[in-house]
Amino acid sequence: MNKEKLIKQYKAIFHKSPTHIIRAPGRVNLIGEHTDYNDGFVLPIAIDRYTNILISKNDDGKVRLYDLKYNEKDEFDLENIKPSQQKKWSDLQRGIAKVLLDAGYEIGGMDVLIFSEVPEGVGLSSSASIEIATLLSFKELYNLDIKPIEMIKLAKKAENEFVGVQCGIMDQFASLLSKESNALFIDCRTLDFKYIPLSIQSYSFLICNSMVKRKLADSSYNERRKECKDAVKILQKYLPEITSLRDVSINDLEKYKSYLPEELKRRVEHVIYENKRVKQAVEVLKKGNVEAFGKLMYQSHKSLKELYEVSTKELDLLVEIRKDETGVLGARLTGAGFGGCVIYLVKNYSVEHLKEKILDVYSKKTGLVPQFYDIVPSRGAYVEFIK
């Protein structure tokens, strides 16, 4: 839906004009999975699918929301913010208002129209895009003096504490700070970041939705987090200085892995080598070595499947389909796993052929019709003023 149409809708719903449009993108992670909550490294890009939020101030201390995806409205009072019983979607906005107030920021009411282009529940961070857009909305309307890193931390806090999903910091980071044609290399411990230019003109990233819905809150995501914590606890007996798996070197792993139960050993191995792969990915991308990057993607998938055990047979099938395809350089599940999407790195001329092949093979084998998203590495969240 274009801007003019959205403004028209806004006027019809709120009987006034919006003053700003805030746009915050979804993200896809190129490599570095399940490393963010282990203080490790990640390499996401923002995708050209945005959550659009049209806003204007109100003086009655209420946040009024209308979400075009659900064609539903909701409202809450800033004096008394509780999770919604019926309209779960509005917990994202409620959570953001709550963490801002708790942190001492002075915010007031606003009237909000939401239109998100980010597919929901498939691992492309639709929630993070809504959180970041909502935070930016309050920042703009109430002139909050708040730095990007603080915004990212607060958005994550809202998701962790209010929505109840124990996500790491990558999604909110990518939604706010990504840059067009670049990947975002994040050190999830120090929160330092670097832009890595993607000189991949003759290649594309293609996303394929396995159509197996994943629900982070209900999934084994929190269980994996706990396993990592448990592993750290055991390893601390031998390596007292470590505080997370980020601190465990490959040598340490070799030396002490026999003290870990089999399952935890696999988890730790994934995290340590995945961190290494992210750093290698940055190096090869800097040199423009796209083939090497593709190989790292495959290795990452193998590790997520065999060691971290977050793949599904559908995701594996999508990664395998490419095997005898020329022009496909890499593929892996992306996001938390347990369903959701696969990302391919593919030569431009092979994209359509790959889609046809996937449609044919995947549909026959699973009875599911996969969905494709052609994406380009895009800019992070931004504000547009409406005259």
What's the closest the beta carbon of residue 108 comes to ligand GLA, in angstroms? 30
Which of 20, 23, 34, 246 is in the footprint of ligand GLA by CB under 6 A?
A: 34
Applying CB under 6 A, which part among 33-41, 53-61, 107-115, 227-235 lies near ligand GLA? 33-41
Other Cβ atoms within 10 Å of 334 Cβ, number: 29
Alpha-carbon distances of 334 from 4, 27, 61, 207, 222, rounded to whole Å = 34, 10, 40, 9, 17
> Pairing relation of β-strands 371-375 and 203-209?
antiparallel
Which residues, 6 or more positions from 78, have their beta carbon under 8 angstroms from its beta carbon?
A: 61, 62, 63, 97, 101, 107, 108, 109
Q: Look up residue 99 and give its two tokens.
A: 């963490």
What's the closest the beta carbon of residue 171 comes to ligand GLA, in angstroms? 5
Which CB atom, from 63 or from 345, has the smaller least distance to ligand GLA? Answer: 345
> Pairing relation of β-strands 109-116 and 62-67?
parallel
Which CB atom, from 55 or from 158, has the smaller least distance to ligand GLA? Answer: 158
What's the closest the beta carbon of residue 34 comes to ligand GLA, in angstroms? 5
Which CB atom, from 36 or from 39, has the smaller least distance to ligand GLA? Answer: 36
Which CB atom, from 132 or from 336, has the smaller least distance to ligand GLA? Answer: 336
Say if CB 376 and CB 11 are below 8 A apart. no
What's the closest the beta carbon of residue 136 comes to ligand GLA, in angstroms? 19
> Pairing relation of β-strands 109-116 and 382-385?
unpaired
Which residues, 6 or more positions from 347, have their beta carbon under 8 angstroms from its beta carbon?
A: 202, 203, 204, 326, 327, 328, 329
Which residues, 6 or more positions from 290, have their beta carbon under 8 angstroms from its beta carbon?
A: 200, 203, 284, 329, 345
Applying CB under 6 A, which part among 32-40, 89-97, 301-309, 375-383 lies near ligand GLA? 32-40
Applying CB under 6 A, which part among 8-16, 31-39, 237-245, 316-324 lies near ligand GLA? 31-39
User: Does position 33 bind ligand GLA by CB under 6 A?
Assistant: yes
Place of tokens 């996001």: 335
Which CB atom, from 128 or from 211, has the smaller least distance to ligand GLA? Answer: 128
Long-range contacts of 233-238 (CB under 8 A, 24+ apart): 234/259, 234/260, 234/264, 235/259, 235/260, 235/268
* Window 318-357: contact mask with ligand GLA (x via CB under 6 A): -----------------xx---------------------
What's the closest the beta carbon of residue 174 comes to ligand GLA, in angstroms? 10
> Pairing relation of β-strands 182-187 and 203-209?
unpaired
Cα-flanking dihedrals φ and ψ of residue 263, to 5°?
A: -65, -45
Which CB atom, from 78 or from 128, has the smaller least distance to ligand GLA? Answer: 128
According to CB under 6 A, which residues from 153 to 172 bind ligand GLA? 167-168, 170-171
According to CB under 6 A, which residues from 221 to 280 bind ligand GLA? none
111 is catalytic: no
Say if CB 377 and CB 178 are below 8 A apart. yes
Distance from C-alpha of 159 to C-alpha of 168, rounded to nearest angstrom: 10
Applying CB under 6 A, which part among 26-34, 229-237, 256-264, 275-283 lies near ligand GLA? 26-34
What's the closest the beta carbon of residue 168 comes to ligand GLA, in angstroms? 3
- Give the 3-state secondary structure of residue 169: coil
Which CB atom, from 34 or from 301, has the smaller least distance to ligand GLA? Answer: 34
What's the closest the beta carbon of residue 126 comes to ligand GLA, in angstroms? 11
Which of 74, 171, 218, 230 is labelled catalytic? 171
Which of 25, 26, 31, 37 is in the footprint of ligand GLA by CB under 6 A?
A: 37
Residues that are catalytic: 171
Q: List residues binding ligand GLA (CB under 6 A).
A: 29, 33-34, 36-37, 167-168, 170-171, 335-336
